[in-house]
A and B are shown apart, each in its own frame.
Chain A
């Protein structure tokens, strides 16, 4: 084996090691590196009480209720597996709306509800002009 071939094999092994390291890092951090808890995770592994966490999911349809004080809202966050009721006082981002993604920062209460101190709107990967979105919305309504 010539020196060049030897270096080629070594470089190949190095690339394999790098890819392996990336995959190991990704899977090892799978739970720790999650940006938020989904309602289904909480149901499975118990409430993370007594510390600040983030809760993420979809805002359930027809669940946003404005409170009489004018700055508080209540809504439900769902991921299809479980649903968590959330209370929030403050200014919600513009993209916060029903059937859209949300990440709430705050803490869980012992009764399973969530008190949020800050809301982030989570955008999904779909981008479309208003006409197309409107048309899709109409079809959905017609089907129903």
Chain B
């Protein structure tokens, strides 16, 4: 556990996070740009969907980060509840806003793809509904965490909410397996994919790119929160003096 404690030290965290932020951001931006260019120009259209298939290079990373973001909130919340590291609490709050944004982007790109493919913008299907619920749960978490902070809480209530909200993750993942849904089944498994290789490869670039971008945004927000906390502490000391 000694190594984990070392990273939980805010001063050491800032020393690593400061140079890492820029590196993650620019590498992510380059990978996204290349992946989008390749996905728009270097891959064949689908035999049924035509060119609208290309939205998958954005839709899949946003879905992955919308769900991955909540996994991060849940893990940070557990770390905060068990080890009481303030940094874990900061991390969970920092993930919430970009996570909600990516969940919303996932719903929007899916809707844009659904109109030409299915013939509808929206249906109350198991996968679509559970993803919409995750977006609302994000909004609830953001509101709760803000209220908790303003009331001078120690962040334990939002952390419990973070753990409880992860109930949605397996439901979203297995909704297309367990229920009849309009959304198709899983295309990309651990070992194989039902997307032809000639169409799949740019997805690796956009997935990696958006993930690095997400990490950069989380680090920026964490540094911002730590700076604010330090400012507040300084103002309190000055007021007392």
List A residues at the B interface (Cβ < 8 Å): 4, 7-8, 10-11, 14-15, 18-19, 21-23, 25-27, 29-30, 33-38, 56, 92-96, 100, 103, 119-134
B188 shortest CB reach to chain A, Å: 9
Give chain A residues whose Cβ lies under 8 Å from the Cβ of B53. 127
Q: List 13 A-B contacts (CB under 8 A).
A: A18-B164, A23-B170, A35-B123, A56-B180, A92-B119, A93-B118, A123-B48, A125-B186, A127-B46, A128-B47, A129-B44, A133-B47, A133-B48
Give Cα A126 to B198, complex, Å. Answer: 13
Contacts of A131 in B (CB 8 A): 44
Please report the number of residue pairs spanning A and B whose Cβ atoms sit closer than 8 angstroms.
136
Cβ–Cβ contact A35 & B44, under 8 A? no
User: Nearest chain A CB to B190's CB is how many angstroms away?
Assistant: 15
Query: Given the complex of chains A and B, what is the CA–CA distance between A93 and B116 in angstroms?
Result: 8
Determine if A18 and B126 form an interchain contact, defined as CB atoms under 8 angstroms apart.
no
Contacts of B169 in A (CB 8 A): 22
Main secondary structure of the interface of A (DSSP, over half): mixed
B175 partner residues in chain A, CB cutoff 8 A: 26
Across-interface contacts of B168 in A (CB, < 8 A): 22
The answer to whether A19 and B170 touch across the interface, beta carbons within 8 angstroms, is yes
Determine if B83 and A29 form an interchain contact, defined as CB atoms under 8 angstroms apart.
Answer: no
Chain B positions within 8 Å of A125 at CB level? 184-187, 194
Nearest A residue to B176, CB-CB: A125
Complex CA distance for A103 and B125, rounded to whole angstroms: 12
Nearest-Cβ distance from residue A44 to partner chain B, whole angstroms: 14
- Complex: how many Å from CA A100 to CA B185? 14
Q: Is the CB of A124 within 8 A of B167?
A: no
